[in-house]
A and B are shown apart, each in its own frame.
Chain A
Amino acid sequence: DGGITQSPKYLFRKEGQNVTLSCEQNLNHDAMYWYRQDPGQGLRLIYYSQIVNDFQKGDIAEGYSVSREKKESFPLTVTSAQKNPTAFYLCASKQQQGSNNEQFFGPGTRLTVL
């Protein structure tokens, strides 16, 4: 079965700690994305990567970091510099070339900072 997996589903972190959220896809998609969703707000783009070993900042990249060492993996690290990290985090992927294919989303990780 092809798809996107995110782990864990729920994550708790103490203030001041870094934490890494996992995102893996076996869809052979070129592009991958990280969003966060807060109550009453849309999906805001944190980082995206169009190809392995390359990534760009989205609209709210401060306090986050990513890597794209493999095509199928795009982990997101929430650092202690992120002022308000409690949110629902969504990973997505997309076929970059060809027709206007949609982004496929993972099930999300809810991060709570205690």
Chain B
Amino acid sequence: DQQVKQNSPSLSVQEGRISILNCDYTNSMFDYFLWYKKYPAEGPTFLISISSIKDKNEDGRFTVFLNKSAKHLSLHIVPSQPGDSAVYFCAATTTSGTYKYIFGTGTRLKVLA
């Protein structure tokens, strides 16, 4: 049972435009969500996170939106740059308990110059 889903395996966007990556979850106990960026043959690097008490968190070009009622979060990258081309994973966890993270399957973003 996939508790965290990223239904788009890939996305292509023109440089300068907005990239929107989506993530859905099924477990209503999740209360903390993260986005990671991963280049091939490297470990993921943390991008941005959001607690369930918020519906938006912004850090520079990156904004994460959380819609708890829909169990949906999205990552917006504006403006997109060629260096943003990578695989993006969303992850979800509960802040009480084991601190296990559940990762989605990833979305490969390609920003075209």
Contact = CB atoms under 8 A, between A and B. Distances in A.
Nearest to A90: B43
6 contacts: A43-B44, A58-B100, A96-B99, A100-B49, A102-B34, A103-B101
A56 B6 CA distance: 27
Interface of A: 4, 6, 31, 33, 35, 40-45, 48, 50, 56, 58, 88, 90, 92, 94, 96, 100, 102-108, 110
Contact of A100 (B36, B42, B51): B51
Say whether chain B's binding surface is mostly helix, strand, loop, or mixed. Answer: loop
A39 to B, nearest CB: 10
A41 B34 CA distance: 17
A61 to B, nearest CB: 13
Contacts of B4: 42
Say whether chain A's binding surface is mostly helix, strand, loop, or mixed. Answer: strand
Contact of A42 (B41, B46, B95, B103): B103
Interface residues of B, number: 24
B43 A40 contact: no
A24 to B, nearest CB: 14
B75 to A, nearest CB: 15
